[in-house]
Amino acid sequence: MAESILAVQALRKSFGALAATDGVDLDLREGETHAIIGPNGAGKTTLIGQLAGNLRPDSGSIRFAGEDITHLSAPQRARRGFARSFQITSIYRDFTALDNVALAVQAHAGHSFRFWRAAREERALRDPARVVLEEVGLGARADVLAANLAHGEQRQLEVAMALATRPRLLLLDEPVAGMGLEESERMVQFLSGLKGRQTIILVEHDMDAVFTLADRISVLVYGRIIASGAPEEVRANAEVRRAYLGEEA
């Protein structure tokens, strides 16, 4: 069994009487695509917030690549190799696609207290950014303002920004949400190309995408993981069917 890159133990987070995260354990192996699914209100957003460092858990611990990151901020986690996309597309709308990705490269190229040289002329930032844009299929759109990209392209751009930080772990929050069928298929195809090379946490409502991409699936219901395993096992799990899949199928 491969070494686990992310180990979450007994994570708890309550808002008043509501236990949004109620003792979650999660173990991620290097290179796997691990999907987290669950009905609305299951606590997925709260869990992601804690993993990414935007929310502090009440108790429990998160270890990333052997280091306890429970109390690190989001930027600190990002610098250690934790990249994410947001459920609602989060990009720099008033920057070009290339500038968006170049900023992600810059964030991982040492400190930015450099006051004089024009950053847009720095090949050390531009060239890697261009490579990643090509990789996600936005090479021809590099100089377009992000706000003017199609919705699907914006989602691709967000993934490009995450990849440009050369992450050890990629957290994708509903990457195909709001996409047309064709766009969605293209994204799933692109993500399956990352499989094996990239460790991915995939939070997604689209079950086709989940069952195509995931090596393992954890099912979150009312803040607890009620099942975790290979897609076939989860699909066959009676509790999961009752709590979740049954409603949709």
Partner 1 sequence: MRARTLILAACVLLLLAVPPLATVFNQPYYIDLLRRVLIFGIAAVSLNLILGYGGLVSFGHAAYLGVGAYSVGILAFYGIHNGWLQWAVAIVASALVALLIGAISVRTRGIYFIMITLAFTQMLYYLGVSVEEFGGDDGMRLKVKSQFSGLVDLGDPVTYYYVVLALLLACMYLVHRLVNSRFGRVIRAAKSNEARTRAIGFSPYPYQLVAFVIAGAMCGLAGALLANHTAYITPAFMDWTRSGEIMFMVILGGMGSIPGPALGAFALLIVEDQLAGWTQHWQVIFGPLLVLSVLFFKRGLAGLLPGGGKDG
Nearer of residues 95 and 190 to partner 1, judged by Cβ:
95
Cα gap 110→132, rounded to integer Å: 19
Site for partner 1 in 1-40 (CB under 8 A): none
Site for partner 1 in 110-139 (CB under 8 A): 112-120, 122, 125
Nearer of residues 94 and 143 to partner 1, judged by Cβ:
94
Element (H, E) at 18: strand 18-29
Least Å distance, CB 181 to partner 1, is 27
Least Å distance, CB 30 to partner 1, is 21
Among residues 28, 62, 78, 170, which is the contact residue for partner 1, using CB under 8 A? 78
Count of residues in contact with partner 1, rule CB under 8 A: 38
Binding range to partner 1, per CB under 8 A, among 64-72, 106-114, 183-191, 214-222: 106-114
Nearer of residues 36 and 102 to partner 1, judged by Cβ:
102
52 in contact with partner 1 (CB under 8 A): yes
Nearer of residues 79 and 242 to partner 1, judged by Cβ:
79
Element (H, E) at 51: helix 44-52
| Chain position carrying tokens 């796997």 | 32
Which residues face 63 on adjacent strands? 7, 68
Structure tokens at 35: 């999907």
Please, are residues 79 and 67 in contact by the beta-carbon 8 Å criterion? no
Please, are residues 10 and 23 in contact by the beta-carbon 8 Å criterion? yes
Nearer of residues 115 and 182 to partner 1, judged by Cβ:
115
Nearer of residues 132 and 226 to partner 1, judged by Cβ:
132
Nearer of residues 143 and 248 to partner 1, judged by Cβ:
143
Count of other CB atoms within 10 angstroms of residue 162: 26
Cα gap 7→10, rounded to integer Å: 10
72 in contact with partner 1 (CB under 8 A): no
Binding range to partner 1, per CB under 8 A, among 63-71, 73-81, 126-134, 219-227: 73-81
How are beta strands 67-68 and 59-64 bridged, if at all? antiparallel
Among residues 86, 190, 211, 222, which is the contact residue for partner 1, using CB under 8 A? 86
Structure tokens at 150: 């199609």
| Chain position carrying tokens 């047309």 | 180
Q: How far is CA 149 from CA 76, 96, 127, 161, 172, in A?
A: 30, 9, 21, 15, 20
| Chain position carrying tokens 């096992």 | 233
**Binding residues vs partner 1 (CB under 8 A):** 52, 54, 73-76, 78-79, 83-84, 86, 90-95, 99, 102-104, 106-108, 112-120, 122, 125, 161-162, 165
